[in-house]
Amino acid sequence: MLRRLLSASLRRGLSTAAGGDPSLASSAEYAYRLLRRHHSDPQKLAAALSASGLDPSSPHLLDAVLRRCGAASSLALHFFQWCSPSLPSPLPSSLALLAKSFSRASSPPPPSLLAPLPSQLLGPSLLCPVLRRLPQPRLLPFALSLISARPDHDHPALFLSLLESLSKAGHVATAEQLVEELQPRLPLSLRHYTALLYGWCRQGKLDEAKHVLARMKAADVALDVVAFNTLLAGFVADGRFEDAFELAREMERRGCPPNAVSYTTLMQGLGARGRVDEAMRVFVEMRRKGCAPDAVTYGTLVSAFCKAGKISQGYEFLDAMSREGLRVDAAVYHGFYVAHEKKEQLEECLELMERMRECRCPPDLKVYNVVIRLACKLGETKQAMALWNEMENGGLSPGVDTFAIMVSGLVGQGALIEACSYFKDMAGRGLFVAPQYGVLKDLLNALVRDEKLELAKDVWECIVSKGCELNVSAWTIWIHALYAKKHVKEACLYCLDMLEAGLMPQPDTFAKLMKGLKKLYNRHIAAEITEKVRKMAEERHVSFKMYKRRGVRDLEEKPKAKRRRGQKKSRRRQSGYGQSNRNADLLDASDDEEFSS
């Protein structure tokens, strides 16, 4: 019966989300409807779920329902609690889906819903998304009410989880307030102090971190290597390398010598600032002290040398990793690809991809993104498409970034038919989202500019038919692209479609179309658009007269602002050229002096 209630499109969507199992998708939708109907009354909800015939011990059903709930975190939590007693332990995927629901929710679940969860689940992975959704004034009351709702024997563990979660969520000041509220009833251990150190160091407030150290000393709590490394990372992130090196020496004096994490942290900070020679000295010191570097250490040095343009030294460390039997993952190779891309070395990138395959480390999506972008930039569009096919044949699914790189690269090389094909594929996979409107603008403008109007219309119809989200920005891009090449009538017809979709055009779009229709003496379409916009303005309580004035003003001001930006860029380029000429003259003069001497 449930399958008859669901539309065919909804059944297909749910079946996809449930891993292709239609019965599981139907059960998930049934559970979701029960949750929506009875969520305000927990007793009725429990009775309805028990009488539904759903299996609470099925982890796959739990995952499917959590996906269906989406941002409705309270509904997700209700079903999670109903299933928990029947599950020996929830799958990591279920916890990840629940945390994702918390992070997407408009408001966090109340403490009364979180309190019944098993104590081992109330860790930072679940609490951090909840705390990030809360405004600052509600954080402390929320934490205190959650602790008070639990049995006394759970208070120490929950206190530590809340302290770590608040610090990770960036609310370390609230964590300090929680400490004040609960001391001396709940004493502080090394982990509590380390959480506070982490929070202050992450915010760059090292004076507060030093105050925590003073409190640790007063409480006779000895620092371990984790606490030292936390403070060391704070100094490095703030660029205070003198203090960082002094702290490393202090670690040795206290009988807690720096480990691989300590040295790697120093090398990461130095390498990020281009100080690769100093990073190398730290590496030599590390080996001299008998501390064996791990894969992360070598990867840090590889990234530092590649970033500095010293690719050959990076390859030396890559070879050293292979000799020492350390695992080299795709992230280590990524620095080489970025460095080769800067130097436009496509052949070297292709050779490196072959080396990765020989080492049983196949290139990942990031690698393909870089190499495809470089191939398009160099005009090697056939090579880019071959890489794309190779990527998909290898089991990698291109994401939004990969499609955007490919479409933009093909548009830049004038391969518009191929660009349209990839763009339609992106829309067909449901990957066309708001941040990719820049790609849409480039593609439509290029098609209209190249007199491929029918192809441009085909792209637009594909977007509409695939159910992609179309807001005012998307319609504006399409209408302005048509208008720019004097397809005024088509632009006006699409504006009418936009109005039918319940979207109001921007003031400058309306003014632009009215100006074009006036030149065409087409009063009928102008009157129809004006009447619909006037009615829509009234519904939105917007003055139509002010709307028109703003459109005319924007139409006049935008070209002026664009010209000013162009003039500013031109002056900046000229000043840079003049400065480089002056520097060249000074160098020539100094060379002449040396020669004459």
Terminal alpha carbon distance of the chain = 99
How many whole angstroms separate alpha carbon 369 and alpha carbon 390?
13
Report the pLDDT value the prediction gives residue 364, as an integer from 0 to 100: 92
For 38, counting Cβ atoms within 10 Å of its Cβ (0-12 exposed, 13-18 middle, 19+ buried), the class is middle
- CB-based burial, 113-129: b 16+ in 10 Å, e otherwise: bbbebeeebbbbbbbbb
Long-range pairs for 367-370: beta carbons < 8 A, 24 or more residues apart: 367/330, 367/333, 367/334, 367/337, 368/396, 368/398, 368/402, 369/401, 369/402, 369/405, 370/334, 370/337, 370/338, 370/341
Residue 580, pLDDT score: 45
Residue 138's pLDDT is: 83
Kindly report the number of other CB atoms within 10 A of residue 513's CB atom: 24
Q: Which of 394, 391, 477 is closest to 432 using CA atoms? A: 477
pLDDT for res 13: 43
Q: Where do we find the tokens 């703003």?
A: 550
CA count, 13 A, side-chain hemisphere, 73: 23
Taking only the tens of pLDDT, the chain with its 597 residues reads 333 334 443 444 444 444 456 788 889 899 999 988 888 888 898 899 989 889 888 888 888 998 888 888 888 888 888 888 887 776 778 888 888 888 777 777 778 778 777 777 777 877 888 888 788 888 888 888 888 888 877 788 888 888 888 888 888 898 889 888 888 888 888 899 899 999 999 888 888 888 888 888 888 888 889 999 999 999 999 999 999 999 999 999 988 899 999 999 999 999 999 899 999 999 999 999 999 999 999 999 999 999 998 999 999 999 998 888 888 888 889 999 999 999 999 999 999 999 999 888 899 999 999 999 999 999 999 999 999 999 999 888 898 899 999 999 999 999 999 999 999 998 888 888 766 778 888 998 899 888 888 999 998 888 888 877 788 888 988 898 888 888 888 899 989 999 988 889 999 889 888 888 887 767 888 889 999 999 999 988 889 899 889 988 888 887 776 667 766 767 766 665 554 444 444 334 433 433 333
The domains of the chain are located at 490-559
pLDDT number for residue 102: 81
Q: What is residue 406's predicted lDDT score, i.e. its pLDDT? A: 95
pLDDT score at 88: 72
Q: Which two three-digit tokens encode residue 342?
A: 């800067």
Cut 0.75: pTM above it: no
Around 326, how many Cα atoms within 13 Å sit in the side-chain half-sphere? 17
Query: For residue 40, what pLDDT is reported?
Result: 83
Q: In the numeric block, which tokens belong to residue 121?
A: 């689940």
Q: What DSSP element (H or E) covers 159?
A: helix 155-168
pLDDT at 23: 84
Phi, psi dihedral angles at 547 (to 5 degrees)? -60, -45
The CA–CA distances, whole Å, from 72 to 15, 90, 99, 536 equal: 20, 19, 12, 32
In the DSSP assignment, the letter for residue 152 is G
Give the Cα-Cα-Cα angle 369, 375, 376 (nearest 5 degrees): 90
pLDDT at 419: 93
Residue type, 589: A
> Which of 23, 77, 95 lies closest to 55, judged by CA?
23
